[in-house]
Each structure stands twice: as C-alpha cells, then as structure tokens.
Amino acid sequence: MTVPTSSRSISTMYAKTLPNLLIGSQTRVIYQGFIGKQATTDAQESLAWGTKIVGGVTPGRDGLHLGLPVLPSVRQAMEKLKPDATAIYVAARHAAAAIQEAIKAEVPLIVAVAEHIPLYDMLRIHVMLRAQSKSRLVGPNSPGIISAIGRCRTGFQPLPCFLPGRIGIVAKSGTLSYETVASTTRAGFGQSLCIGVGGDVVPGTDLREALEVLGHDESTDAIALAGEIGGTAGMDAASWIQAYHSRTKSPKPIVGLIAGVIEAPNRVMGHAGAFTTAGEPDALAKIAALEEAGVTIISYPAKFGEVLRARLQVHAIPLRSGSRSGTLTRRQFHTAAERQQRYFYLPEDKCLDLLRTAGQVNCATYTGHGVRRLLAVGIDRSARSPCILASPTIEQDQLIQTIQRSPLDTTVDTLREVVRSLVSTFHEGEAFLLTTHLFGFDDAAFNSSGRQGVIRDVATGTNRLNNEAERSGIVYIRLWGDGPVGTLVNGAGLAMNTATSETVKRGFELILEDPRVRVIFVNIFGGLTLGDMIAKGIILAFNELSLKIPIVVRIKGTNEKEGQQLIADSGLPLYAIDDFHLAAAKAIELSLSTSGRPDIS
C-alpha cells in the first residue's frame, strides 16, 4: 500500500480554501449520515439553536427527515440544497469515503467528527486536498467548528456553554476547547468562532491555519489557543504568531495552553496524534516557542477567562504589546483511564524480525561498538506526508536540532536500496514510525478496516492492563513516580457515544489496580459524554466495588445538572466540586492527608 507524497510546503491551492472556515448565520449545513441516531440528536439541537440546516445525505435513501430533504448522494445534495458545509456523521470505516465524496462534490467546508480513521486513508485524502481549491477539511477527530455569534454549529459541542462574544478559540482537543469556552463565558466575554482542529495525526486544518483565519477575522478581538504534544503544530503556530506580531500594528492578544507537560514515553496520550516521536518538540519546547512569540501561557484552561481579561483593555480593544508571563504546575496525577485507543508499538526484537523478513534489511541489536545514527521513516505532520528522517545522533536531547526531514523521493543513492526496503515495510505495515528499534503502527487500520491483523497480533499481549482496558474501549496510561492521584477523564470524540455506566465502573477497576492510588479524581467535560451517565457509573462503582478511598467528582457539559443532582442525591461521601482548580486542589489535599492505601477488598 503506497501513498503519494509531496514537498514540505503547504499547497497554495488548498490555502485558498481558508476563508471557508468563516461560518455564520447564513451558512447552509447538511449532514452526511443524516438519519443516524447521533446526527439526528445533534441536528435537532443545532436547529433549535438557530443553525441553518437544509437537509442531509444517506446513501440509498430519498425523502424527509426532521422535515428536511434526505438525498442519496452529496453531489445531488450540492445541486439541490446548495450547502456551504457538511458535517460527516458516519462510522470510521466509512468516513474516508464520505470525505472523498464531499471533496469530489466540492462542498466548501467539510467537518469530519469521526475518530479512528486509518492514518493512511487520511494521507490519501490529503493528496486530494492539495490538488484542489474548493473544499476545506476540519478534522477528523474534531468536535467541529461553531460560530457563537452566528449560531451556526457543525459538530457536537455542548451548546449551553457558548455565549456570543469576541474571543476566537482554536484547539486540538475537543474537551479542552469546551473548558476554554466555559472559562471565557464565565468571564463574560463570549466567543466569536471556535475551531476544533481535531486530534488527528494529519488534520485537514492545523493550528497555524486556524490562527490565520482568527487573526484576520473582524469579529474576533482576542484568541485562545489550546495545543498539545505531538508533531510540530505548536512550533508552526509560534512562527506564525511571531510574524503576525512583527507585521501588525495592533495585534490581537493571544493566550495559550499546551497539554502534555507530563507524558508517558511511546504512548498515545488520548488523541490519535498526541504522541511525540524522534526529533519532535515536547510540550515544554512548544511552550517556550509560544512565549518567545509573545503568547501568554497558562497552565490549565480554567484560567483563560481571567488572563484574557488582563490582556484586554476596556471595551475589548486588543493591547498593543504582548505579555510573556505564566508558569507551569507539575501535578502528581499518574494513572489515567479514558476512552480511545489508536496506536501500538513493536519492541526492538519484533521490529528487527519484521525488517529482516519483510524489508530484507541486514540489521541486528546494537553491540555497544561504533557510532549510532538515526535513519527512519515517519510522518511529516506539517506537510501531511510520509518522509525520511535522518540524524547524525540518536540522543533525544539533540535530535530536534540535528534531525532532517526529506520527502520520500529524495533519498541518497548509496542508501537507496536500504531506504526503499524501509519505505516498503513502512507503507505495507501502515506505520507512523519505523526505525530499527521501534515500529509504531496505526491500530485504526485494523479496528476500522480489518487491515494489519498479523502485525497487531504481534504487538498485543504484552501488557495485561492495557489489553483489558482496550477491550473495554478505554485507554489506560501509567505514569512514573509516586504520585497518589488516579484520574478518570473523557475525550470529546464520536466514540464517546458508546460509553456507558459500566465503562465508567471498569475505569475505576483499572485505576484501583495501581497500589499507588490513594485518591481518584473524576474530571468530565462532556459534549457527547452525558453527565448523568457518568454519575450513574460513579455510583455503580462506589456501590459494587466498595470504594474506601476519597473520590473527587467534577462533571460539566452535557447533562451536567442531571449528573450533579444524581451525585447530590446519592448520599455517598463524594467530593462534588464544580470548579476545576478547586477540584484539583482538593484531590491533591486528600492525597497528602491520606497516609496509606485503605483496604478496598
């Protein structure tokens, strides 16, 4: 399986579609997968809110749904309904084809909310996107894009959090975007446009492109930026911001956050693209670059409102100079369970076997003699294309400065045969990273499309808790250190609509397997995740597992009042706290006051 590649530069043709992100009250929206349960629910909410939904598409269907036309193809919908945007609500195994259909029909804005779309399917889609100038993609793995001032939603963001205003928001994480929205609403500012670029490895719109739109948007006075680990999007954003400040007389203030200061090596931290590979900057490097560019950095999203207030003058006029303040807090949270699983890594011995048999590469374990250099095949996330990675050293602290990325068609003659074998193995195994000691591959290729079963079988079976978590649709991440706080959190992806109260209980069981845990902090901000479902799961876990350690609960977002009421009515000794800062502080306080792990048997 091969994927066409291109140079590192972003297509100027595709760049012409950036204005398509400026949705508003007149934006005509359709849904692909219109008659599905989740699409129906979200469409009803959006219609009631004021979004101009004009119909939808379901293959093989023709008629009405919610009183609106249903057509069998996107092309017919374009001809008859004249949409400006489509929200794609189909399962991951059908999502790539649905995106391609929308591109071919030249829908101006395509919003893909599905997660677990195979990486190689997305790379092929980017080849299509680079060659055209009509359609702009947001996502996949995105909560969507929403105009609070235009009351237009193409996605599943929790509407009660939004307030029409003048703050533009761009975020990799859906849940972090909800927290940012809630913070700016509490501060009384409200939002103009919120772009959820999504947590995918190669999203259709990245942070830099979203910033460019908000930077020129006359309805936006200040910008909140929520990034995370993985790739170079944060560095690209910092470069754009620095250039923006130098060429703009009165630049809009930008407040930023980078999630993932503490990460587990070789683990995906929730989102498909939330992992750091060879030569990529970590969270601290991105934070330093953004601060150098003039961004005010905060440590968690609840601070956005108050810090934006400090950055804005009376009447919401942008300040002329940027502040470079902000400190980071390393909290002692170490065990986390959440929805979503995406990637696996093969250990060195398995990787060497694969290279010898499939790639015909002469390789062996390092003997301790000679100089080690890096030659790998990976993904250039900025170019949205596979690339060759090369460095004269393998030392992690030097890779960022020394690593070179090249398109796959520019290999050195003397290495051509080796590189060709590496590239062949990389493509055939649907990898995102291939070195002689590590092979990272996309599990979505198996889960969504049934591909790469043999490689997946080799990778699984090494960690009992990880495997048990995966079977329950949960990501289990064990961090280092002696921190006594375990966390149960949610993602914002479409897969969250399959979570149940039993899933929540199973999350508690996994966390309690770690003997270090003396306090559990449940932090939920739901879009698709229902607050009452989470509350029922907490109560179920408390009763059936005979929990005897403190539980701090914060439930926000969809059905938050119902969830909070269930917790209050349960009579259980739970610490229900609405504010994130206070809830986190309480969890830390309880962990310090609990000298040992109580018997929970």
What is d(CA 181, CA 161) in angstroms, rounded to the nearest whole number? 6
Three-state DSSP class for 354? Answer: helix
Residues in the chain: 601
Three-state DSSP class for 31? Answer: strand
Token pair 């790379």: residue: 123
What are 442's strand-pairing partners? 343
Cβ contacts of residue 340 below 8 Å, gap of 6+? Answer: 115, 116, 270, 271, 272, 473, 475, 491, 493, 495
What is d(CA 536, CA 305) in angstroms, rounded to the nearest whole number? 31
- Residues 553 and 508 sit within 8 Å (Cβ to Cβ): no
Cβ contacts of residue 223 below 8 Å, gap of 6+? Answer: 167, 168, 169, 170, 211, 214, 215, 252, 253, 254, 255
DSSP string, 204-236: SS-HHHHHHHHHH-TT-SEEEEEEESSSSHHHH
Backbone angles phi, psi at 138, to 5 degrees: -115, 130
Q: How far apart are the first and last CA of the chain?
A: 51
271 is catalytic: yes
C-alpha pair distances (Å), 127 with each of 151, 384, 388, 430: 33, 9, 18, 17
What is d(CA 67, CA 14) in angstroms, rounded to the nearest whole number? 35
138-139-140-143 Cα dihedral, nearest 10 degrees? -110
Within 10 angstroms of residue 306's Cβ, the number of other Cβ atoms is 15
Using alpha carbons only, how large is the chain's radius of gyration in Å? Answer: 24
SS3 content of the chain, % helix, strand, coil (to 5): 40, 20, 40
* Active-site residue, from 65, 116, 126, 271: 271
What is d(CA 129, CA 570) in angstroms, rounded to the nearest whole number? 52
Cβ contacts of residue 260 below 8 Å, gap of 6+? Answer: 228, 229, 230, 269, 274, 282, 283
What is d(CA 520, CA 517) in angstroms, rounded to the nearest whole number? 7
- Residues 99 and 138 sit within 8 Å (Cβ to Cβ): no
Question: What b-and-e string marks burial along 429-447, b requiring 16 or more CB atoms within 10 Å of the CB?
Answer: bbbbbbbbbbbbbbbbbbb
- Comparing CA positions, the residue from 518, 522, 509, 436 lying closest to residue 468 is 509
What are 525's strand-pairing partners? 556
* Residues annotated as part of the active site: 271
